[in-house]
């Protein structure tokens, strides 16, 4: 902005008082100009963000990198152990289970949670009256705090014949099912609850994107004789491709880090059927006290996630050039 | 990648607007045109699907919450034996009082509010000052700082979970521990690159002539921020505030790790303990009370909630 264009370049390193050098006079003039041009104000205003990020963002990231190659004895000082933590984690017999479960969770979350919000949003966009009622109803589960939702669904999944779901399915002669107690059903049950809790926000995001689809496209399609369904298929969906990709990536990034649901629903059981990667990291660090293994596994997961989020950044940039 | 100074136009109409149907058709057409809507077959299908979806949404969206309400004033026997009974055999309002007293719901709600408000203040303070430096003051080293903040967006929070915990346990350089203090939740929440960048982009789009004029009139940097930048930025600050408060209200893992003393814990951390000890109907009453505040807030501020979510593009930290 125009204000600072005239300001002299502020010294990049060290406090301004240390600017005593071979040409004190010139330095001094530069310093005064920097001072009057608002330099100290910028430094002052940057203090909170630099401190907070140094302590709680940049610092821990670097520390995580260092810790992953160190032994994690809390008694003895940490020593460099090379790739030992990584080989320990990679040979952990539970790791394939956890990775498999995490991908299974992600896959189920896509199957359960991807088509329905898209369909609802396309339909809501057609509503001329009472759209607010539909959106509020669809968003209501999202406002329920996750812990409340999980504890409530746990009651729904009561395995006895009188449990809510078992009673409902019993009417049509199915069940009773063991739900969370069965290694095969536990994961789908958790994903169903998680989908219920998150589908509403996807609806709202699609709805916002739908309002950006230009009406001329529909008019042109209509003039060309496209029916309603064809307009949805050949105009709406292609126009939403960018948002769909972004939502896909966001959902993947989110589901790869799923923790609260398996932690509170099943604690990773039964028979490790719902053990996710993040749950494993938690167990390494806060149950076994093995910080080295925990950070090593975090790092491995982060590499995958960083690729996904870089793709996400690129996708959003392409998706909204006008933003 | 620049945002218009005005609040980004987000036509997520969430409130009924009178005679929309008659007037809005030419402006706001979508897949189904006005001509389609006059065809009886289309109309019948549309009304049918609409009714079906409404019923589905009522069952899936409102149903569990109503069921929870019913369960919270029922006997435990009723919840277990007749989950689908429309009306409980005896209404026990006492459950709610018991949960409030024995489960100390009010106390934990206060903790949740303290956590959320503190995170909100810390977050806004850090994000606004940072965005102000990067966008308005623009020092020489601005791009360096901005790049360092941007980079953290690409690094998932998982990588720093354990080291962050250790940092809180024993602060480097200054020493001391934040464990079992609210600072342990507030300060890490303030290191939010997304918020800094969103606010910065908004500041970028404010007219620079205003700052120039204020400077000529003798306003210092603080004055420009308080009297010019902040009043113009109310829309973006509202959205960021809402997202921050919601995120900290919902957070579970981090407060579980750093607030180990029960009298500091927010409701989300304390609730699982309650459900381990109390009777089923008291549990349900506790859950219902925990649900009440966010749901009421949502119903009051639906418009802001929905446009905020639409705008965030679903960015979840």
- Report the residue of B161, B198, B315 to disrupt the A interface, i.e. the one with the largest count of A CBs within 10 Å: B161
Say if B252 is an interface residue toward chain A (CB within 8 Å). yes
The residue ranges of every structural domain in chain A are 23-67, 87-319
CATH number of A87-319: 1.10.3720.10
- Cα radius of gyration (chain B): 25
Q: What is the dihedral of CA B269, B270, B271, B273, to 10 degrees?
A: 110
Class of domain B105-277 as given by CATH:
mainly alpha
- Residue A246 CA to residue A230 CA, distance in Å, equals 24
Minimal-distance CA residue of chain B relative to A264: B272
Contact list, B306 vs chain A (CB under 8 Å): 135, 139, 204
Q: Report the pLDDT value the prediction gives residue A319, as an integer from 0 to 100.
A: 55
Question: 3-class SS at A70?
Answer: strand
Give the bridge partners for A206, in sequence order: none
With beta carbons less than 8 A apart as the criterion, state whether B219 and B227 touch. Answer: yes
Question: 3-class SS at A80?
Answer: strand
Q: B81-136, pLDDT tens digit by residue?
A: 777 776 767 777 888 888 888 888 889 999 999 999 999 999 999 999 999 999 98
- The enclosing H or E element of B276 equals helix B267-277
Contact list, A128 vs chain B (CB under 8 Å): 20-21, 24
- Report the residue of B36, B156, B193 to disrupt the A interface, i.e. the one with the largest count of A CBs within 10 Å: B156
Contact list, B20 vs chain A (CB under 8 Å): 128-129
Q: Report the pLDDT value the prediction gives residue B317, as an integer from 0 to 100.
A: 31
Say if B289 is an interface residue toward chain A (CB within 8 Å). no
Say if B63 is an interface residue toward chain A (CB within 8 Å). no
Helix axes B63-72, B280-300, angle to 10 degrees: 130
Q: What ranges in chain A are assigned the alpha helix state H?
A: 2-5, 24-36, 39-53, 59-67, 84-90, 94-113, 115-126, 131-143, 146-156, 164-171, 186-210, 215-223, 228-231, 237-239, 241-256, 260-265, 277-282, 291-319
Query: Does B196 sit within 8 Å of A49, measured CB to CB?
Result: yes
Q: Report the pLDDT value the prediction gives residue A230, as an integer from 0 to 100.
A: 83
* Buried-state track B25-37, b at ≥16 Cβ within 10 A, e below 16: eeeeebbbbeebe
For the entire predicted model, the pTM comes to 0.80
With beta carbons less than 8 A apart as the criterion, state whether A118 and A206 touch. Answer: yes
Shortest CB distance from A247 goes to which of B15, B139, B314? B314
- Report the residue of A2, A11, A53 to disrupt the B interface, i.e. the one with the largest count of B CBs within 10 Å: A53
Q: What is the dihedral of CA B80, B85, B87, B89, to 10 degrees?
A: -50
Query: Does B280 sit within 8 Å of A53, measured CB to CB?
Result: no
- Residue A216 CA to residue B155 CA, distance in Å, equals 41
Give the bridge partners for A80, in sequence order: A70
Query: Does B140 sit within 8 Å of A301, measured CB to CB?
Result: no
The residues of chain B scoring below 70 in pLDDT are 1-28, 86, 88, 311-317
Residue A80 distance to chain B (closest CA, Å): 17
* Buried-state track B199-210, b at ≥16 Cβ within 10 A, e below 16: bbbbbbebeeee
Residues of chain B with CATH 1.10.3720.10: 105-277
What is the interface pTM, i.e. ipTM, of the complex? 0.81
Q: B162-200, pLDDT tens digit by residue?
A: 899 989 988 888 878 888 999 999 999 999 998 998 899
From the first residue on, what is the mean pLDDT of each consecutive set of 10 residues in chain A (323 residues)? 39 41 53 66 90 92 88 69 87 92 92 89 84 89 91 88 83 83 90 91 86 82 82 85 84 87 88 90 89 90 86 70 42
Q: Report the pLDDT value the prediction gives residue A3, as an integer from 0 to 100.
A: 38
* Displacement of CA B245 from its chain's centroid (Å): 5
Residue A53 distance to chain B (closest CA, Å): 5
Read off the tokens for B180.
């079992």
Read off the tokens for B175.
């020493």
Q: Report the pLDDT value the prediction gives residue A17, as an integer from 0 to 100.
A: 42
Q: Report the pLDDT value the prediction gives residue A174, as an integer from 0 to 100.
A: 82
Contact list, A229 vs chain B (CB under 8 Å): none
C-alpha to C-alpha distances, A248 to A90, A107, B71, B198, B295, nearest whole angstrom: 28, 11, 36, 22, 28
């Amino acid at each position: 902005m125009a204000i600072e264009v005239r300001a002299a370049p502020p010294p990049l390193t060290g406090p301004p008082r240390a600017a005593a050098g071979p040409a004190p006079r010139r330095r001094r003039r530069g310093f005064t100009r920097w001072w009057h041009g608002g330099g100290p104000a910028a430094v002052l205003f940057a203090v909170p963000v630099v401190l907070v990020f140094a302590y709680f963002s940049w610092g821990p990231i670097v520390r995580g990198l260092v810790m992953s190659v160190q032994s994690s004895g809390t008694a003895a000082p940490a020593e460099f152990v090379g790739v030992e933590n990584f080989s320990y984690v990679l040979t952990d017999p539970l790791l394939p289970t956890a990775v498999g479960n995490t991908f299974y969770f992600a896959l189920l979350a896509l199957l359960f949670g991807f088509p329905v919000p898209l369909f609802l949003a396309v339909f809501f966009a057609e509503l001329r009256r009472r759209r607010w009622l539909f959106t509020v109803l669809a968003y209501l589960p999202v406002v329920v705090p996750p812990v409340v939702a999980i504890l409530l669904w746990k009651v729904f999944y009561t395995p006895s014949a009188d449990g809510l779901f078992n009673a409902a399915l019993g009417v049509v002669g199915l069940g009773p099912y063991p739900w969370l107690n069965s290694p095969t059903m536990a994961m789908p049950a958790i994903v169903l609850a998680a989908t219920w809790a998150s589908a509403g926000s996807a609806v709202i995001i699609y709805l916002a994107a739908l309002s950006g689809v230009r009406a001329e496209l529909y008019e042109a399609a209509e003039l060309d004789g496209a029916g309603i369904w064809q307009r949805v298929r050949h105009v709406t969906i292609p126009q939403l491709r960018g948002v769909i990709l972004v939502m896909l990536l966001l959902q993947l990034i989110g589901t790869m880090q799923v923790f609260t649901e398996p932690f509170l629903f099943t604690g990773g059981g039964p028979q490790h059927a719902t053990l996710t990667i993040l749950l494993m990291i938690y167990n390494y660090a806060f149950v076994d006290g093995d910080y080295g293994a925990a950070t090593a596994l975090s790092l491995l997961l982060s590499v995958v996630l960083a690729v996904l989020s870089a793709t996400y950044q690129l996708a959003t940039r392409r998706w909204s050039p006008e933003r | 990648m620049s945002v218009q100074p005005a609040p980004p136009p987000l036509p997520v109409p969430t409130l009924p607007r009178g005679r929309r149907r008659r007037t809005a058709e030419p402006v706001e057409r979508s897949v189904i045109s006005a001509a389609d809507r006059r065809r009886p077959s289309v109309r019948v299908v549309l009304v049918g699907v609409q009714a079906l979806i409404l019923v589905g949404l009522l069952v899936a969206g409102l149903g569990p919450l109503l069921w929870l309400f019913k369960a919270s004033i029922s006997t435990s026997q009723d919840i277990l034996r007749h989950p689908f009974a429309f009306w409980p055999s005896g209404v026990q309002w006492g459950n709610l009082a018991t949960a409030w007293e024995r489960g100390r719901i009010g106390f934990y709600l206060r903790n949740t509010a303290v956590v959320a408000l503190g995170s909100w203040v810390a977050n806004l303070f850090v994000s606004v000052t940072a965005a102000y430096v990067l966008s308005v003051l623009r020092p020489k080293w601005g791009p360096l700082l901005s790049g360092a903040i941007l980079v953290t967006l690409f690094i998932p929070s998982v990588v720093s979970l354990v080291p962050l915990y250790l940092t809180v346990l024993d602060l480097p350089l200054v020493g001391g521990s934040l464990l079992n203090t609210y600072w342990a939740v507030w300060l890490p929440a303030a290191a939010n690159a997304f918020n800094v960048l969103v606010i910065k982009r908004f500041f970028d789009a404010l007219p620079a002539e205003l700052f120039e004029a204020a400077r000529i009139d003798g306003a210092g940097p603080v004055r420009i921020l308080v009297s010019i930048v902040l009043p113009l930025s109310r829309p973006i600050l509202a959205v960021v505030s809402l997202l921050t408060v919601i995120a900290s209200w919902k957070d579970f893992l981090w407060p579980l790790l750093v607030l180990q003393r029960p009298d500091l814990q927010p409701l989300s951390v304390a609730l699982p303990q309650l459900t381990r000890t109390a009777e089923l109907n008291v549990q349900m009453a506790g859950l219902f009370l925990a649900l009440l505040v966010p749901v009421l807030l949502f119903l009051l501020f639906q418009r802001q909630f929905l446009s905020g979510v639409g705008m965030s593009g679903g960015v979840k930290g």
